[in-house]
Amino acid sequence: MKNNAHFASGRALDVICLGRLAVDLYAQQIGSTLEDATSFAKYLGGSSANIAFGTARLGLKSAMLSKVGDDHMGRFLTDTLRKEGCDVSHVAIDPERLTALVMLGIKDKDTFPLIFFRENCADMAIEADSFDAGFIGSSKALLITGTHFSSAAMHAVSSQALALARANNVRTVLDIDYRPVLWGLSGKADGETRFVSSDAVTRHLQGILPQFDLVVGTEEEFMIAGGGDDIIASLKAVRAVSGATLVVKRGPLGCAVIEGAIPGKLDDAFNYRGVQVDVLNVLGAGDAFISGFLKGWLRGEDYDACCRYANACGALVVSRHGCAPAMPSPAELDYFLAHAARLTQPDQDATLARLHRTTVARKQWDELCVFAFDHRTQFFELAQQAGAPEASISALKQLLVQAVAQTETSLGLAGRTGVLIDGRYGVDALNAATGRGWWIGRPVELPGSNPLQFDWGRSIGSHLVSWPKEHVIKCLVQLHPDDVVANRLEQEAQIKALYDAAQISGHELLLEIIPPESLPQGDDTVLRAVKRLYNLGIYPEWWKLEGLSSSQWRAIDALVQERDPYCRGVVLLGLNAPIAELAASFEEARHSTTCRGFMVGRTIFQEPSRRWLAGEIDDAALIAAVRANFEQLIGLWQRTRQNNVQLERAA
Ligand SMILES: Nc1ncnc2c1ncn2[C@@H]1O[C@H](COP(=O)(O)OP(=O)(O)OP(=O)(O)O)[C@@H](O)[C@H]1O
Ligand SMILES: O=C(O)C[C@@H](O)[C@H](O)C(=O)CO
């Protein structure tokens, strides 16, 4: 069916979403009452915000028009939208009010308890002067969710935005989004009830319907908008006041699109069948649905395509935990559409899960200069040799963080700075490093273990739940493809367990492969170890490898490119090599397309630390010496890469 909507050309934005912008606190226990829930995941939420986020993730240029409090949650929401590529220039900050909160649970596949904490919240205080014709007119479309007409003040502001849209050739979209509790029609804690008939709400919606070009809702939502006794009577009542394109969401059945006259039966309208999947959680599926629909609609694609995207996005989100984070990227959507017939449990499909992890917006790390001081045994030995107490290692590691901070500032290294710090001696150092935008790796291997053991026993997953999300799991493993079979299998099982735990916890993984010296080393030993892990379905974001020759780098580049184009890269390890040796290994890696930088430790910290622990130098001298070593390496790395760029330009 042809999409007849006309959009202004040359607009900077595809869609502006006006409305709720809140934090979702989602119970992590599935099948639990909200009373019994013990932990909550924090996500971006609010229907309009979910759509701004979902459309941005799908590649549209979206903007959010709303308000947050001057609080931690508001900053989290704005950051989350920004990182997804959504324009947040019109997310205002309200010093008087707090950001809204929602608590949600998944009791069973039909019961989703939900409490809105929205009294006098920031997003219900959007101000009329916070936007103008210039902003609204910079978009092809304006979307508003029905609830934003539930208070007199927000009704006025939403109507003003609508008027500016209509005056500036901006298409207008209404997601009816009926939440009886937000119209004061159900008990305060009853956010779950989706339908309460109300003449007052129907009258209200009838008043605004004429302003919209596209209206989307479930059958129940069209019932409240039309006020009839059944869906057809209600659609006719909507049609009496609105010429909009109407899209009726029919759950797993798909959806209907109606232009012009309302048919006698919904089945007689243009229908696009959905794909049925097992439901985990319906919350947010409607927001995903409309995000998918808009991806097609705003690009002038026909209604078959709009509905195909919409149904698929809805299906993917009902199978996952959370609303916004469950939204698919274009790569996931393509994959799901190509395999939908067999994907009745999309959340169980490993390829889809990997695409969801790797193809959504991620912080870019084009180059990494990492100072590694996650060593435990070596620092313990250094302290022993110097006669210093074990407790001094913690203080030493905090000084090393200061050195990195100073280097970052003096070299303008923001976005390229990293550290590797352990949680045994380095907890205070880790805390000091976290939140600065650094790349932070944290080891999980028991030092020296072969077969690999984790520092806290087998249950690695239960340990990761307490880690900040920005920490990258670093695991050193003495892996050799020709190791005795029993040892190799045990190590591989441990790495697989770690990889699986990382998929659940959401942390990135760095695997450091050092083949043990006791076994013969061939030219392709490391390559075969990496290949073997790919064969086992293990795709770490990062590899940390020893210096390779340029031909070995070519082989690694080709392997990574073939097996995991989403891999973030390879970094070079140091192994206490002298600076001249590291410089030579940088040189060998100069043409590598996967090598992103280095992670070096002892070459930088060993000698200054020994002297500091022995009381020979003070804090300032330690920092200065460590900085000198680190900065020398950074200089060498950057010079190699710059020469490379110059040579490539010259060629
Ligand atoms: N079992 C299912 N299988 C496949 N897709 C489904 C299933 N259930 C729902 N969906 C998809 O999710 C979309 C939205 O579902 P729903 O009717 O619950 O919307 P909603 O009430 O607006 O959701 P919300 O307001 O919680 O975001 C449906 O139109 C459909 O695309
Ligand atoms: O839209 C809301 O305010 C509730 C949301 O926070 C939540 O993401 C949801 O249920 C979306 O449908």
Spatial separation of the C-alpha atoms in residues 489 and 494, rounded to whole Å: 9
Q: Is 106 in the pocket of ligand 2 (CB under 6 A)?
A: no
Sheet architecture: strand order including 13-18: 87-94, 62-69, 13-18, 139-145, 171-175, 214-218, 245-249, 254-258, 270-273
Sign of the dihedral through C-alpha 244, 248, 249, 254: negative
Instruction: Let me know whether 126 and 244 are in one domain.
Output: yes
Torsion sign (Cα): 576, 577, 583, 587 = negative
Residue 202 CA to ligand 2 centre (angstroms): 22
CATH number of the structural domain spanning residue 230:
3.40.1190.20
Asked if 504 and 405 sit in the same domain, the reply is yes
Asked if residue 298 belongs to a domain, the reply is yes
- Spans of the chain, pLDDT less than 70: 644-651
CATH number at residue 585: 3.20.20.70
| 204, 316: one domain | yes
The pLDDT of residue 644? 65
- Residue 118 within any structural domain of the chain: yes
Q: Does residue 430 lie within any of the structural domains?
A: yes
298 and 178 share a domain?
yes
Residues 6 or more apart whose Cβ sits within 8 Å of residue 489:
none
Q: Are residues 138 and 190 in the same domain?
A: yes
Has residue 350 been placed in a domain? no
Within 263-371, where are the H helices?
285-297, 303-318, 330-339, 350-358
In a domain, 78, yes or no: yes
**Ligand 1 close to Cβ of residue 104 (< 6 A):** no
Q: Closest-lying ligand to the alpha carbon of 48? A: 2
Angstrom CA distances, 555 to 148, 160, 528, 548, 552, stand at 57, 61, 10, 10, 5
> Quick check: is 304 in a domain?
yes
Q: What secondary structure, in 3-state letters, does 538-552 show?
A: CCCCEEEECCCCHHH
Domain boundary among 326, 347, 379: 326
- Could you tell me if 320 and 375 lie in one domain? no
Question: Are residues 320 and 403 located together in one domain of the fold?
Answer: no
ipTM here: 0.90
**Can you give the residue range of the structural domain that contains 380?**
368-650
In short, whether 105's Cβ falls inside 6 Å of ligand 2 is no
- With a 6 A CB cut-off, is 138 part of the ligand 2 pocket? no
Judge if 235 and 149 occupy the same domain: yes
Give the total number of structural domains in the chain: 2
Residue 610 one-letter amino acid: R
Q: Which of 275, 310, 326 is the last residue of a domain?
A: 326
- 311 lies in the same domain as 380: no
Q: Which ligand is nearest to the CA of 117?
A: 2
Ligand 2 midpoint to CA 568 (Å): 33
Q: Is residue 341 part of a domain?
A: no
Pair (22, 169) in one structural domain: yes
- Residues shown for the chain: 651
Using alpha carbons, select from 576, 599, 601, 602 the residue that is nearest to residue 586: 599
Do 431 and 301 have their domain in common?
Answer: no
pLDDT of amino acid 155: 97
Domain boundary among the residues 304, 326, 348 is at 326
Query: What pLDDT was estimated at residue 201?
Result: 96
3 lies in some domain = no
My answer on whether 267 and 395 are in the same domain is: no
For atom 17 of ligand 1, which residue has the closest CA? 251
Give the number of other CB atoms < 10 A from CB of residue 522.
Answer: 12
Best of 40, 48, 76, 287 to mutate for ligand 2, by most ligand atoms within 8 A of CB?
Answer: 287
